[in-house]
Amino acid sequence: MSSSTIDHFEAFGLPSTIMQAVDGAGYETPSPIQAEAIPPLLAGRDLLGQAQTGTGKTAAFALPLLSKIDIQQPKPQLLVLTPTRELALQVAEAMQTYARFLPEFHILPIYGGQGMVTQLRSLRRGVHAVVGTPGRILDHLSRGTLQLDHLIAVVLDEADEMLRMGFIDDVEEILQHTPAEKQMALFSATLPAAIKRVALQHMRDPVEIKIASRTTTATAIEQRYLLVNTVHKLDALTRVLEHEEFDAMLVFVRTKTATVELAEKLEARGFASAALNGDIAQPLRERTVERLRNGQLDIVVATDVAARGLDVERISHVVNYDIPTDVEAYVHRIGRTGRAGRKGIAILFALPRERRMLRVIEQTTRQAMTPMPVPTLSAIADRRSARFLENLREVLEETLDGDTLSPYRELLNDFLQDQDIDPIDAAAALTYMAQKDRPLFAGDEPEPTFAAPPPREVREHRPKNQRRVQRPPEAGLCRYRIEVGRNDGVMPKNIVGAIANEINLNSRQIGQIQLYDDYSTVDLPDNLPAASLQHLQKVWVCQKQLRIAPVDASPPAPARRAHRADHSQQPSRPPRRSKQ
């Protein structure tokens, strides 16, 4: 069967334990890269895939390779290398989901900044798969705490990003520790010469696939996003629902269980909601859609599969409560609104660690999303007041000319005369009674911090003719020299990314960065552990090691590119295998 004709996951012939997880995740139709990559990987072929982030490539390699794991052997059999700890965590979480029905399956994410003791404990206990960044993987190899003798497959994810961050030599060194007879998959958005060299040297007759990105979104859809912490996600959604003027709304989550849980929570907060997922029988599904269509329901919480083919004219808003795993899913989701020339609004909820996927969606769809703050208590109160007064006007218009209000007037008139109460006070008390569960005025309670603050921007270096004298480090910071500079093509964001990633340092804790021709300076907290500074010595950026040192210390001697620093700290590298 040609991969182009595969339109259901059942057609791949994946094991039942993997298919259970696929069904549970709501997957039905493979993305293009999944349709192209899964068959050759299942067949044991090496694979060279060119595809953008957000195309669903994690499932493309994880589903077939997890099918080959021997659960009875708790040794690393699958190794996935990623450029950043954020991606390592995302891949590990996705693979854990796909392997949820594999009994006693264990996967370990390994990255800089995480406690070594925790990683060592997990490795001693036994793991079947490892996902990690090159620097920390090399650390374990040099300590002898990670054995790769039983590997059956290696995946290089976002290889061009690893090249850009200066990890490609580390990757090649890691590959020297892996068995010659192993399956290998390499995924990259672009294929520069260095990536092709790695592929030719370590792969055997790889299948090459290239997935072109043709994803676009409707221009009639206004796209927004808001950053929110997990703990405040439901409160943030509740505020959006109260603040937005919407007719009907479709809210997307990842799992079938989440549709029921979220719909019930929204119902408890006074919103007319219902769940829609693959487990719901067709008659009930049809009744739910009809209730949404005729206005008996305002909100439907759905999975991707359950919402396919759903076309209800009332849907003015689509909310991605859980960020989708690939861009195509995002496009399909928001396509439920803004149809036939109508205007639609799409709102995406993203956790702080999901900023990267947010940018991928923007780049792939070539449409920017507008940042949206979580509505404040004051804004919510203003909206409630406006709605209350509008409802009051409607009731008065409908009843003023008839006898509907007559008994109520008599009741209140007798009460006011008996109690000698001002009519305005009585109206205010009635308003309070009607709205005490949804106050019309903001109280004094403090606003929660819905999302982590954005990373502090680092000022780009000025041209030589506009240079200023560099300010002294701020209190609590120490200035360090690193042996990579403007001539190496480095930018402040490269330095921030490498340091923050390797020692788990919040980018807001990184101070001034000054670029010079052959070196740079960076201000870091003065209480950094010695182990973190020692680790940064060996970090590579733009093909050079940082070799970090305090500026008041003597700068390290220039390193010859042919030899890597700290040979005494690492095992000697085995001779490279010649190109075939």
Name the residue with higher pLDDT: 456 or 336.
Answer: 336
Q: Which of the pair, 319 or 404, is modelled with greater confidence?
A: 319
CATH superfamily of 3-210: P-loop containing nucleotide triphosphate hydrolases (3.40.50.300)
Range of weakest confidence among 219-223, 509-513, 565-569: 565-569
Residue 573 has pLDDT above 60, yes or no: no
pLDDT at 531 over 90: no
The residue type at 307: A
Q: Please, are residues 203 and 185 in contact by the beta-carbon 8 Å criterion?
A: no
N residues, the chain: 580
The amino acid occupying position 338 is: G
In the predicted structure, residue 572 carries a pLDDT above the cut 50: no
Beta strands in 102-189 (DSSP E): 107-110, 129-132, 153-156, 183-188
| pLDDT at site 451 | 63
Q: Residue 42: what pLDDT?
A: 95
Contacts of 254 (CB under 8 A, 6+ apart): 25, 26, 303, 322, 325
Architecture per CATH, domain 221-375, reads as 3-Layer(aba) Sandwich (3.40)
CA distance 380 to 382: 5
CATH superfamily of this structure's domain 464-569: RRM (RNA recognition motif) domain (3.30.70.330)
Q: Does the pLDDT at position 124 exceed 80?
A: yes
pLDDT band for position 46 (50/70/90)? very high
Where residue 477 falls among pLDDT bands split at 50, 70, 90?
confident
In the chain, the percentage of residues whose pLDDT exceeds 70 is 86
29-43 average pLDDT score = 91
> What residues does each domain of the chain span?
3-210, 221-375, 378-435, 464-569
| Bridge partner list, 318 | 250, 346
| The two domains 3-210 and 464-569 share their CATH topology (first three levels equal) | no
Rounded to an integer, the average pLDDT of 260-274 is 92
The per-residue pLDDT for 492 is 87
Task: Please give the average per-residue pLDDT across 219-230, as a whole number.
Answer: 87
